[in-house]
Structure 1
Amino acid sequence: MSTLGTRTRLGYSLGSFVTGAFGTVPGLLLLPYLTDTMAVPAAAAGAIVLLPKAWDVLFNPIAGRISDADLLRKGSRRRSVLAGGLALALAFAALFAHPGFGSVAADAAYVVLAFFLCATAFAFFQVPFNALPAELTEGYHERTRLTTWRIAVLALAILVSGAVAPAIASGIGGVGGYRAMGGFVAVLIVAGTLSVYFGIRRAPVGRLRAPTPTWRALLATMRAWRSFRWLLAVYFVQALGVATLLAGVSYLARFVLGDADLQSLLFAGFVAPALLVMPVWDRIGRSGGKLAGFRVASALFAVALIGLVFARALPIAAVFGFVAIAGIGYAGIQVFPLAILPDLITAEEERTGATRAGVTAGVWTAAETLGLALGPGMFGLVLAAGGYVSSSEGTVTQPDSALTAITLGFSALPAVLIAAGIPLLRRSVLEAEPRKAEATA
């Protein structure tokens, strides 16, 4: 069946509340939580954000292989989605619980452990979640439609979690604010997990094929799969750019724009336009092709970020205008690679006769996780180079060099990374263009 029902599309898409919340909130708040609540130096805080997620680079492909085997045994990936999502909710609440051991080192070690557990649990949710579109439908354009639904819900999830979570943390203030925020996000994760678990209960699962028997055979096919490697490279570089931008939102609002309350408005201004333009990206993908849409979205995002280089001199209204344009581009660079990926998976499964969805989603998620983890780490290094002053007493006066570092880390650095994906797209997805004989359903 090529066309999915509304219940299946919505049920699957609501899982984006899990990926949106976990992909957004740590990138926004974990670095300031460490630097401005625990007094962890900026460079060390960047490393703490990176290290637990580095484990996922190795573990996500394993989680994908486990998910492929579970699919063959149980006929569904739902069990892994449920277990991973519920475990993630518990670990996330613990991440921001701040036990207060009495030393910076002990508190930082606790965060590392809790984030490690979060990253592992997230792998068991996100890997099968990313694998599902290749199995729910074989329709080329239906996959674009499903992805636009998913990214629309993702935009809403990012808007809710990215705007409300900082508001809770700053509104209550201190350790108590972060604890309340962690509980709120945990509830969102549980709701998204249950929605996707029950929403795809009666959905098709595609053809059940045996996984590749050995890791050596799997590595061999990955080496030969050039189109996937190019697409993965684009996605990784751009995920790195997005993560760097997200890490800078709190700092830009507090120190460059001078108002901590603006971080929620900045986030809303970045994400809300995506909800409005999602049908436009769907139409562009249908008429001009997914590859052309991907290029347009990347260029639009990069140009908007270049405009934000001048945020210190621009009026607030102009800053929000560039942020909104960036959000439109961001929606596109989320839709098109995720719409192309199941096309590549289907072609490779037909070529090899073996299940590829789970392990491919594992490799994909590993690259995304690495990019999202490196982004705050890179931003932390930019802060350190600019002489940023960490504190346990809240906001302190920063030197002019730190303000410049914040501005460039929020704008110029992610602009370069987003734009770097455009030349890589020249060879990345040639196999993913639509089959001429296929209907446009």
Structure 2
Amino acid sequence: MGEARAADGRLSVRSKVFYGFGSVAFGVATLGLSSAVLQPYLNRVIGLPALWVGTAIMATLILDAFIDPAIGQWSDKLRTRWGRRHPLMYAAAPLVAVACIAFWNSPADWPPETVGLYLIGMLVLLRLCVSLYEVPSQALAPELSSDYHQRTSLFSYRFFFGVIGGFGMNVVLYQVFLSPENGGILNRDGYAQYGVLAALVMAASILVSAIGTHRHIPHLAAPPERQASLP
């Protein structure tokens, strides 16, 4: 731990960077799942009715209200040799990549109704996979340090990398994949190519963060053992 934590208990900059870097995935997902991107893709490119698009976006947002607490409770109760948070963080990386590619590369030869149901399902799955990383990762910060200032610093790094990830992919999406030279916002292939890149960036950022903070696992807070008793 000497390199990860200073003698006075402060976390090293390296540890903070590793922790914060994972929020690149959240920033990329926030951009990709925003209505500004989803509406033209689902409505004008895929051809889904506007009512379907609005309902799908609203349903996934409502679902988040139930998914996040459930994942948080699961993570809190999890007991493994890799602690409570890291198993879910590691598992999220490939799942996020697969769900992202599947969503942005929808079948072009299916009936519109079938494609609509497929995309709504993939959108829900993608949000679920992002939460599978984001919820345990947020809960990891208080376990990395009990110091108020250190926790504030950790969340500052998270915010910084989240903004960088979202802004960077926003530039790439509209200046490269959906540039006027490539067909603009109606370029279906552009969204598909963006989905592959977004999947790789999100998976990589999650793995870098999980591996970079892995050394802290033996020193993280663990849930108390509870003995079940009969009434």
**TM-score > 0.5 by shorter chain:** yes
Q: 1:203 and 2:210 equivalent?
A: no
**Structure 2: 5+ residue stretches without partners:** 1-7
Larger Rg, first or second structure (1 or 2)? 1
Residue in structure 1 matched with residue 119 of structure 2 by the alignment: 111
Letter in 1 for 2:16: R
Residue in structure 2 matched with residue 331 of structure 1 by the alignment: none
**Structure 1: 5+ residue stretches without partners:** 215-441
Task: Choose the corresponding residue for 1:133, options 121, 137, 141.
Answer: 141
Q: Tell me how far 1:47 sits from its aligned partner.
A: 1.1
Paired residues for 1:147-226 under 5 Å: 147-171=155-179, 172-173=182-183, 174-203=187-216, 205-210=219-224
Q: 1:170 to 1:69 in 2, by over 3 A?
A: same
Residue in structure 2 matched with residue 16 of structure 1 by the alignment: 23
Question: For residues 189 and 8 of structure 1, what CA distance do their matches in structure 2 show?
Answer: 19
Paired residues for 1:37-48 under 5 Å: 37-48=45-56
With structure 2 as the length reference, what TM-score do the two structures score?
Answer: 0.84
Residue in structure 2 matched with residue 252 of structure 1 by the alignment: none
- Native 8 Å contact 1:165 1:185 kept in 2: no
With structure 1 as the length reference, what TM-score do the two structures score?
Answer: 0.45
Query: Matched residue of 2:215: which SS?
Result: coil
Question: For residues 192 and 37 of structure 2, what CA distance do their matches in structure 1 show?
Answer: 12
* Equivalent residues, number: 214
Letter in 1 for 2:166: I
Q: Tell me how far 1:92 sits from its aligned partner.
A: 0.6
Q: 1:89 to 1:143 in 2, by over 3 A?
A: same
Question: For residues 206 and 103 of structure 1, what CA distance do their matches in structure 2 show?
Answer: 50
Q: Tell me how far 1:102 sits from its aligned partner.
A: 4.2
Paired residues for 1:252-263 under 5 Å: none
Letter in 2 for 1:9: K
Q: Tell me how far 1:53 sits from its aligned partner.
A: 4.1
Paired residues for 1:341-380 under 5 Å: none
Paired residues for 1:357-436 under 5 Å: none
Residue in structure 2 matched with residue 97 of structure 1 by the alignment: 105
- Native 8 Å contact 2:76 2:84 kept in 1: no
Letter in 2 for 1:151: F
Q: Give the fraction of aligned pairs with identical amino acids, expressed as a percent.
A: 23
Q: Tell me how far 1:211 sits from its aligned partner.
A: 8.1
Per-residue CA deviation, residues 342-373 of structure 1 (Å, 9 max, x unaligned), is xxxxxxxxxxxxxxxxxxxxxxxxxxxxxxxx
What's the Cα RMSD here?
Answer: 2.3
Residue in structure 1 matched with residue 87 of structure 2 by the alignment: 79
Per-residue CA deviation, residues 33-72 of structure 1 (Å, 9 max, x unaligned), is 0121122233321112222343332222221122112246
